[in-house]
């Protein structure tokens, strides 16, 4: 008796659950992601062959080609403490909403008197705003206060992060949690502007200063 042959069919996979999962993941990342605000000033930095990576706990001063100074502190909680201290020193009040906005801002370059209005601006308005930057001359050195109180705040948040890492059973290195000081200068800026900012760090005995440069290939 002849053997009956069963018809062959290709196996099929139902892709519907995978497509649903993909859309769920995309939706999750869109809702959970926080977009970084654009910097209010762009500078062209000189090139070098250094390959050191910028750390997380950073205090950054940027000097544009006109010599204007901009300030940034990376850690949001450190920024909150910093603004409280600067507000007390200069007797300028900020609303709770302004404080929250300040914690997620990028670099800023304005006087303390201008700061409340600056915080309330959109990113595009900040880019169009013509300011003289943060003052750092001998008669009005607000930049020195930003660096001083920024360092204090960053040390406090770094110490907290270090203690939390120890409680988790890690083996943290204390120096990794200390703030790092970085200077970013436009390659068209006059040397005197960079030197004046460096002197501000020196006056505060903050001598471990790093410079941001663009990468270039080392000669063979």
Mean pLDDT computed over every residue of the chain: 82
Cα torsion 161, 163, 164, 165 to 10°: value is 90
- Residues with Cβ within 8 Å of 135's Cβ and at least 6 positions away in sequence, in order, are 69, 111, 141, 142, 143
46 compared with 102, residue with greater pLDDT: 102
Percent of the chain residues topping a pLDDT of 90: 53
**pLDDT for 33 beyond 60:** no
The model's pTM is 0.75
Closest to 130 measured CA to CA, from 217, 184, 68: 68
The whole-angstrom separation of Cα 101 and Cα 90 is: 19
Domain boundaries, the chain: 47-153+179-215
pLDDT of residue 220: 33
pLDDT band at residue 138 using 50, 70 and 90 as cut-offs: confident
Q: Which helix (H) or strand (E) holds 82?
A: helix 76-90
Q: How does pLDDT run across 72-85, given as a tens digit for each residue?
A: 999 999 999 999 99
Cβ atoms of residues 174 and 114 within 8 Å: no
* The pair of three-digit structure tokens given for residue 55, joined into one six-digit string: 């750390």
pLDDT at residue number 66: 92
pLDDT above 80 for 6: no
């Amino acid at each position: 008796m002849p053997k009956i042959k069963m018809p062959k069919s290709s196996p099929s996979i139902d892709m519907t659950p995978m497509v649903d999962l993909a859309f769920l993941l995309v939706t999750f990342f869109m809702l959970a992601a926080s977009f970084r605000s654009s910097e209010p000033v762009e500078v062209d930095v000189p090139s070098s062959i250094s390959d050191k990576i910028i750390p997380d706990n950073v205090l950054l001063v940027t000097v544009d080609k006109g010599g204007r100074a901009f300030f940034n502190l990376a850690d949001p909680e450190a920024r909150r403490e910093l603004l409280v201290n600067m507000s007390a020193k200069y007797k300028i009040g900020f609303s709770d909403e302004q404080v929250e906005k300040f914690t997620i801002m990028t670099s800023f370059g304005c006087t303390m008197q201008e700061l409340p209005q600056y915080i309330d601006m959109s990113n595009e308005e900040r880019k169009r705003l013509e300011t003289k930057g943060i003052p750092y001359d001998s008669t009005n050195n607000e930049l020195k206060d930003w660096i001083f109180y920024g360092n204090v705040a960053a040390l406090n948040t770094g110490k907290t992060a270090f203690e939390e890492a120890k409680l988790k059973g890690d083996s943290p290195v204390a120096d990794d949690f200390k703030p790092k000081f970085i200077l970013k200068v436009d390659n068209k800026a006059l040397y005197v502007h960079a030197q004046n900012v460096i002197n501000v760090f020196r006056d505060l005995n903050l001598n471990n200063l790093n410079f941001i440069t663009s990468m270039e290939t080392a000669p063979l």
